């Protein structure tokens, strides 16, 4: 078992934790332990970021710990104002980690499996930030997003956030308030800009390597 874990790509832990959050969380929304599941899954994502942050970034490694602490506090807090602050801090932590991944990709000297996984992780983390932002909006304005199935609200928010990020937009769930629309535009632009930057980085690295070989 230990040998299997050692062979597993370090960037794969974060990828796996995000995929579990995206696909497993909605399926367990109607269970009595859904609050504990959400606490566990968000904390798991924060914890998994340790595997992708470079060893020399000691200061940056404090942010996942801060994120876990914030996540635990959110579990026990009921005040909307306090939740707004905590959700905001949580989104900031994930955003910082995403930028760290982007910087690490830019500094990487070769294109390999680790780099590709790192790029995927950064993109999926934007979706996590989008989920937090949309959750915050619905917390204060329940009708801001047209969610019809209220029994699986968390699952629908995750679905809507990633559909918006990927600019697929089926139209079954739509932003209704100005704030929700602004967030939708921001998420869509962030996703497209991220992909553009990542593609530019990867093509640039491949091109420079080819030039050196010739």
pTM of the model: 0.87
Band the pLDDT of 16: cuts 50, 70, 90. very high
Quote the pLDDT of residue 7: 65
- Other beta carbons within 10 Å of 91: 19
Give me the phi and psi of 145, to 5 degrees please.
Answer: -125, 135
Count of structural domains, the chain: 1
Tell the residue number behind the tokens 């619905």, with chain if given. Answer: 138
Q: Looking at per-residue confidence, does 37 or 194 come out higher?
A: 194
**For the chain, what is the mean pLDDT?**
85
Quote the pLDDT of residue 6: 60
Residue 21, pLDDT above cutoff 50: yes
Band the pLDDT of 1: cuts 50, 70, 90. very low
Residue 214, pLDDT above cutoff 50: no
Band the pLDDT of 111: cuts 50, 70, 90. confident
Average pLDDT over residues 76-96: 85
Quote the domain boundaries for residue 28: 2-213
């Amino acid at each position: 078992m230990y040998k299997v874990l050692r062979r597993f790509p370090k960037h794969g832990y974060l990828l796996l934790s995000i995929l579990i959050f995206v696909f497993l969380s909605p399926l367990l929304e109607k269970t009595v332990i859904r609050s504990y599941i959400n606490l566990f899954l968000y904390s798991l994502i924060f914890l998994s970021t340790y595997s992708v942050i470079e060893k020399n970034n000691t200061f940056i490694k404090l942010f996942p710990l801060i994120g876990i602490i914030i996540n635990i506090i959110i579990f026990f807090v009921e005040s909307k104002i306090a939740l707004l602050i905590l959700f905001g801090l949580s989104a900031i932590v994930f955003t910082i980690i995403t930028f760290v991944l982007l910087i690490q990709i830019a500094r990487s000297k070769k294109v390999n499996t680790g780099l590709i996984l790192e790029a995927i992780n950064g993109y999926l983390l934007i979706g996590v930030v989008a989920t937090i932002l949309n959750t915050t909006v619905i917390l204060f304005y329940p009708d801001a997003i047209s969610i019809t199935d209220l029994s699986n609200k968390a699952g629908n928010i995750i679905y809507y956030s990633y559909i918006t990020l990927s600019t697929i937009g089926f139209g079954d769930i739509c932003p209704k308030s100005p704030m929700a629309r602004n967030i939708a535009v921001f998420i869509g632009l962030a996703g497209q800009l991220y992909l553009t930057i990542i593609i530019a980085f990867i093509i640039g690295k491949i091109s420079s390597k080819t030039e050196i070989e010739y």
